Amino acid sequence: MNPLDRLTDLFERFPGIGPRQARRFVQFLLAEQAGFRSDLAESIRHLGTETAQCKKCYRWFVKNEEERGLCNICGNAKRDAATLFVVEKDADIENVEHSGFRGLYFVLGGTIPLASEQPERHVRMQELLRRIEAEASKLELNELILGLSATTEGDHTRLILQEKIRPISEGLNFRVSSLGRGLSTGSELEYADPDTIASALSSRN
């Protein structure tokens, strides 16, 4: 495969990018000066060497002098450790932060397809259950918020998680809630504005 087709194929793997857009990216890079392409390649290389995934919430963060492999949110003792907000992806956290939420997070890593016979293969379900059990058994967890998108797959994922979590919540006595009014049907958390998220948080059920 020649370099143009190879790069086009790589761009097509980006979310929401089709063949025509991918080819447009390649043409843009060809029209730019070599220095720009070098800076882009160098930035991508550093993305792999200067970032890490938080051992607690699985969010990606820029490495600094953190000793325990935790991001700045999980490593912040001032956060409300009694409230855990489950999101689909990293970008959701950035949006929720602007709403004023000050608890902790867990990045699920996506949603569960409707026809999936093995839901554990698509999301970090076992990792979430282990974290819930660990924190709830130490009486550190009061509420788990399932902050998933108001889409068909988001609702499907929420129902499966509720079923898996219910025995743990009943045994260790913590609340499981979902975002309420504010998020319209079909909307993703990543694209909701802070006021909408704040409204959905305040009316969670």
Task: Give me the mean pLDDT over the 44-61 stretch.
Answer: 90
The answer to whether the pTM exceeds 0.85 is no
Domain range 3-49, CATH architecture: Orthogonal Bundle (1.10)
Give the pLDDT band of residue 130 (cuts 50, 70, 90).
very high
Give the model's pLDDT for residue 63: 82
Q: How far apart are CA 142 and CA 73, in angstroms?
A: 18
Q: What residues does each domain of the chain span?
A: 3-49, 70-202
Give the pLDDT band of residue 184 (cuts 50, 70, 90).
low
Strands 60-62 and 51-53: antiparallel
Task: Please list, in sequence order, all residues whose beta carbon lies within 8 angstroms of the beta carbon of residue 77, skipping any fewer than 6 positions away.
Answer: none
CATH of 70-202, one of 3.40.50.11290, 2.60.40.10, 3.40.1360.10, 1.20.970.10: 3.40.1360.10
Give the pLDDT band of residue 71 (cuts 50, 70, 90).
very high
Q: Are 150 and 184 in contact (CB under 8 A)?
A: yes
